[in-house]
Amino acid sequence: MATTVGVIGGGQLARMMIPAAVNLGIDIRVLAEADGMAAGLAASTVGDYRDREVVLAFAETVDVITFDHEHVPQEILRAMVERGVRVHPGPDALLYAQDKLLMRQRLSDLGLPVPDWARVENAAQLAEFLGTHGGRAVVKTPRGGYDGKGVRLVRGEHEVDDWFASLASDPNGGDPNGGALLVEELVEFTRELAQVVARRPSGEVVAWPVVETVQRDGVCAEVIAPAPGSAGRIADVAADIAFAVAEGIGVTGVLAVELFETTDERVLINELAMRPHNSGHWSIDGSTTSQFEQHLRAVLDLPLGGTGARDDWSVMVNILGGPSSGSLIDRYAGALAEHPTVKVHNYGKDPRPGRKIGHVTAGGDNLDDVMYEARATAAFFQD
């Protein structure tokens, strides 16, 4: 049986796959972009994931290829598949995590609920969309955005002229969308949800409880599992949507579907991530099977693990930026003594404003207490 998994990308998602691989006795090798990255302790290659030869040579050393991020170019993904490498998720699925315009089109074709959207190539087309959507809209660069970068709320058709210009004159081999942008209705949402599921190549799918995600400045700050008040309709709707995406697009491995719960009680799809996701970190401590173990099981086409919650409530709080001086470990004496039931996850990254350098997860049967524990612990690491 195939037992060596190669992960392209050396970030914290690859890092958190390592203990899961060790526990299952699976070899894990990482292609890291640089020395000293979060997943450096499993890095067998340091190189550029956009370099075809680097990636193909790395793929030769493993049984299955998977990812810490979605940025490996399609041409390289397809070259691996042509050489018989097992790539999960495959290029045909990953395309929709790489390009938000293609994603919106595909989800619309599948009849799944998405915000009103359009492809716009110039200010005149944007003006037309604004005219039919109350004069406000959200414009997104189709590729390369993350943590809110590449997302802009606009009230006038000239507010993204810089993006039209820079994409149309992209010096790095051209923008596959020819400078076009995605424009969406400004969704009036009461909260953001995320539904994480996993799917094996042979078809088995499982879902964790739907969670509520809280973003600050476009970055995920907190996750509550399950989303309060979600038992029943919302849980079913969210799981059905994510299963339809996983099956409709043929995703293998973990899939996170970011959702909006709207003021008129609809659930709309915002984004897709085809890898373990920040909204699933709580599962390491809070679920029978963590999303990282599940991802390995799924990409190896092994039976999937239970997705039930260990506690009534789990709350995950990101450590964003970190302490103004010293490292996370310098704060352990206080944090661990005060909060012995909270689990601290340190990605081994240097503190830097806004950077995700770790997270904490608390669990229990009273949401207020669990929330307090998680926030108070995270506060030890941020000042």
Q: Please state the length of the chain.
A: 383
In this chain, which stretch among 23-31, 148-156, 242-250, 308-316 interacts with ligand ADP, using CB under 6 A?
A: 148-156
Count residues contacting ligand ADP (CB under 6 A)?
A: 19
Tell me: does residue 115 bind ligand ADP (CB under 6 A).
Answer: yes
Minimum CB separation of residue 163 from ligand ADP in Å reads: 14
Could you say which of 92, 147, 175, 240 contacts ligand ADP (CB under 6 A)?
Answer: 147
Instruction: Classify the C-alpha dihedral 82-83-84-90 as positive or negative.
Output: negative
Strand pairing class (181-185; 189-199): unpaired
Q: Which stretch binds ligand ADP (CB under 6 A): 124-132, 140-148, 316-324, 366-374?
A: 140-148
Question: What's the closest the beta carbon of residue 115 comes to ligand ADP, in angstroms?
Answer: 5
Distance of CA 73 to the CA centre of its chain: 18
| H/E stretch holding 238 | helix 233-249
SS3 for 107-152 is HHHCCCCCCCEEEECCHHHHHHHHHHCCCCEEEECCCCCECCECEE
Q: Residue 79 or 187: which CB sits closer to ligand ADP?
A: 187
CB atoms within 10 A of CB 75: 10
SS in 3 state form for 297-362? Answer: HHHCCCCCCCCCECCCEEEEEEEECCCCCCCCHHHHHHHHHHCCCCEEEECCCCCCCCCEEEEEEE
Of the candidate residues 56, 81, 102, 151, the single one contacting ligand ADP (CB under 6 A): 151
Angle between helices 91-98 and 100-109 (to 10 degrees): 110
Q: In angstroms, what is the minimal distance from the CB of 1 to ligand ADP? A: 36
Q: Alpha carbon of 280 to those of 119, 208, 261: distances in Å?
A: 31, 8, 18
Question: Helix 74-82 crosses helix 52-59 at what angle (to 10 degrees)?
Answer: 40
Please report, for residues 148, 226, 242, 255, the alpha-carbon distance to residue 206 in angstroms, rounded to integers and kept in the order given: 28, 15, 10, 10
Minimum distance from CB of 224 to ligand ADP (Å)?
A: 15
Stretch of 141-149, 198-206, 313-321, 335-343 lying at the interface with ligand ADP (CB under 6 A): 141-149
Site string for ligand ADP, 214-243 (x = CB under 6 A): -x--x-------------------------
Site string for ligand ADP, 168-207 (x = CB under 6 A): ----------------x-xx----x---------------
Positions in 263-292 near ligand ADP (CB under 6 A): 270-271
Using CB atoms, what's the residue nearest to ligand ADP?
187
| Interface with ligand ADP (CB under 6 A), residue from 134, 135, 144, 148 | 148
CA of residue 240 relative to chain centroid, distance: 19
Question: Of 138, 154, 193, 196, which one interacts with ligand ADP (CB under 6 A)?
Answer: 138
Instruction: Give yes or no for residue 70 binding ligand ADP (CB under 6 A).
Output: no
- Please report how close the Cβ of residue 323 comes to ligand ADP at its closest, in angstroms: 26
The reply to whether 334 sits near ligand ADP by the rule CB under 6 A is no
- The reply on whether position 116 binds ligand ADP by CB under 6 A is no
Query: Minimum distance between the CB of residue 136 and ligand ADP, rounded to whole angstroms?
Result: 9
Beta carbon nearer to ligand ADP, 33 or 261: 261
The answer to whether residue 255 forms part of the interface with ligand ADP (CB under 6 A) is no
Binding window for ligand ADP (CB under 6 A); candidates: 19-27, 137-145, 155-163, 236-244: 137-145
The pair of three-digit structure tokens given for residue 234, joined into one six-digit string: 């919302």
Pick the stretch among 18-26, 149-157, 310-318, 356-364 that binds ligand ADP (CB under 6 A): 149-157
Whether the CB-CB separation of 11 and 69 falls below 8 Å is answered with yes
Environment class of residue 45 by beta-carbon count within 10 Å: exposed (0-12), middle (13-18) or buried (19+)?
A: middle
Look at strands 253-262 and 189-199 and give their pairing: antiparallel
Taking the complex as a whole, the smallest distance from the CB of residue 194 to ligand ADP amounts, in Å, to: 10
Can you give the binding site for ligand ADP, defined by CB under 6 A?
115, 138, 140, 145-151, 184, 186-187, 192, 215, 218, 258, 270-271
